[in-house]
Chain A
Amino acid sequence: MIGTDGPVVERFRSHPSVLYHIRQFVREHATRCSLDSEMTNDLLLAVSEACANSMLHTASPTIRVSWTLRGNCVEVDVADDGVFKRRAPMVDGAGHGIALMTALVDELTIREGTERRPGTLVRLVKCRDD
């Protein structure tokens, strides 16, 4: 797993029924890049959470998922055209997705879309342990 590959970009409809297909996209590229099962599973869950968050918190009709391999790291961008609806402080049950994502990847960046600049981007970077 060395070298650069991608980005491979795929656009999905923003609907929970599509989450399975987004995970299949991740599985397919993880297999192609020979990631081990631990790294694949962590990315699978993190990407699924990021997409579910986009579906829950923005009204964007589509989600773009891109996959880039850089050396030992995989960078997955989840982007939509939405405006992130800020929530009041989390109650029990909410916000677990982001906490979980933080635990799953090496780097998590969230750029929230605003009214003036729509489009929320979540960047997940996961690197192979050496």
Chain B
Amino acid sequence: MLLQLARTTEPRGFRLVGEVDLSNVSTLSQALAHEIEAGGDLTLDLAGLAFMDSTGIQVIIQTARQLEGRGRLILLEPGDLVRRTLERVRLGQLANVEIVEDARDDRD
């Protein structure tokens, strides 16, 4: 399964469905680059993401760093594999990264 990226407006960001790896990570980084420029909080809905490799993690880390001082990077409902990977690289330690485990109440 390839990666599907859907832009979301409330909250502003993207919904990721499928798997992120070396083959399609540039699609993700290009989509994010535009939104990073605009500044403000950015939300990635990861509930439908079944896999993410270290190249995807790098894009997430870079996104958070580039947003520093201008907005938060909010990661919604990562699945088991993605959540464990984010924990392993201690992504939550970045000051402007927020991992939301159960976002059902926040969504429309």
Given A44-B51, A45-B53, A100-B89, verify A52-B84 contact (CB < 8 Å). Answer: no
Give the CA-CA distance A41 to B62 in the complex, in Å. 24
Give the CA-CA distance A44 to B22 in the complex, in Å. 14
CB pair B80 A37 closer than 8 Å: yes
- Contact pattern, B 67-89, Cβ under 8 Å of A = 1, otherwise 0: 00000000000001100110011
Residue in A16, A38, A45, A100 whose beta carbon sits within 8 Å of that of B22 in the complex? A16
Interface residue total, chain A, C-beta cutoff 8 A:
22
Number of A-B contacts (CB under 8 A): 55
CB pair A20 B19 closer than 8 Å: yes
Interface residue total, chain B, C-beta cutoff 8 A:
19
A60 within 8 A of partner (CB):
no
Distance of B13 from chain A, by nearest CB (Å): 23
6 A-B pairs with CB atoms under 8 Å apart are: A17-B23, A19-B22, A42-B84, A55-B22, A96-B58, A103-B88
